[in-house]
Amino acid sequence: MQIEVLPSTGSPRTPYLEDRLVIVIDVLRATSTIVTALANGCQAIIPVLTPEEALEKRLTLPGSLLGGERDSLIIEGFDLGNSPFEYVPEKVGGRRVIMTTTNGTRAIRDSIAAPVIWMASFINMQSIILAILREFENSHRLKGIVVFCAGTEERFDLPDTLCAGMLIDALGSNVKLNDLGEAARMLYHSSEDHLMDKIRESYHGKKLISLGREKDLVYCSTPNILPIVPVVKDGEIVWLTGD
């Protein structure tokens, strides 16, 4: 299986995605929050690029909530920020959330040429792995995987890369990797026993801690909490169900 890991969105050489499974990773915190929202009964997440676009979109979807962040903080006038702890059943159950985050939602939109787009984080890793194995066992429509590490402000992001490394590691040795994929696997191997420390010490980890969001960091760095694979379907992110 060929797996290409790309460091961020806005890559000048986005590979040909039309026969690829794209997996978007934004550990801190967009994909962790999306997984949590769906687990808590959110009907769908609608990713948009800007707060203005979110406000416009709501006009066509009355009853939906606005969620997301800029510079890690809730956007003025929005109902929800980007902390998974805000997306509780009482708030998001049975409702749509229109969401915009600095990196995560843009990575999702940049993947749009791919026939299958999923969202991964540590918290749903096991379900992602099982879904990948099922997908590639049953069908040959996909030629490989592209992992987008949504990153932090277009820089290399260690938490996302470690998460990509965990994913690659779980798929065994019969994988063909690009340099960043190989690096992700090596980084995961060298820190799998102290993943959370590495995430705490990362740029984005330190930033969240300085904002008093250490609880988010601990939650988002914990593997295999929720059995959810978010998938993009007709422009909305919903729970992947069996065929």
Answer yes or no whether residue 161 interacts with a copy of itself by CB under 8 A: yes
Cβ-based nearer residue to a copy of itself, 142 or 183: 183
Cβ-based nearer residue to a copy of itself, 11 or 224: 11
Answer yes or no whether residue 153 interacts with a copy of itself by CB under 8 A: yes
Cβ 13 to a copy of itself, closest distance in Å? 6
Edge-to-edge strand ranges of the sheet holding 65-70: 73-74, 65-70, 96-100, 44-47, 236-239, 230-233, 116-120, 20-25, 144-149, 2-6, 176-177
Longest dimension (CA), the chain: 49
> How big is the site for a copy of itself, counted in residues (CB under 8 A)?
28
Cβ 71 to a copy of itself, closest distance in Å? 15
Count Cα neighbours of 148 within 13 Å in the Cβ-side half-sphere. Answer: 33
Contacts of 167 (CB under 8 A, 6+ apart): 23, 25, 120, 125, 128, 129, 132, 147
The single residue among 155, 194, 215, 233 that binds a copy of itself, judged by CB under 8 A, is 155
Cβ-based nearer residue to a copy of itself, 158 or 229: 158
Cβ 16 to a copy of itself, closest distance in Å? 15
CB count within 10 Å of CB 144 equals 15
CB count within 10 Å of CB 139 equals 9
Interacting residues with a copy of itself between 107 and 126 (CB under 8 A): none
- Positions touching a copy of itself (CB under 8 A) are 7, 10-13, 152-158, 161, 178-180, 182-183, 186-187, 189-191, 198, 201-204
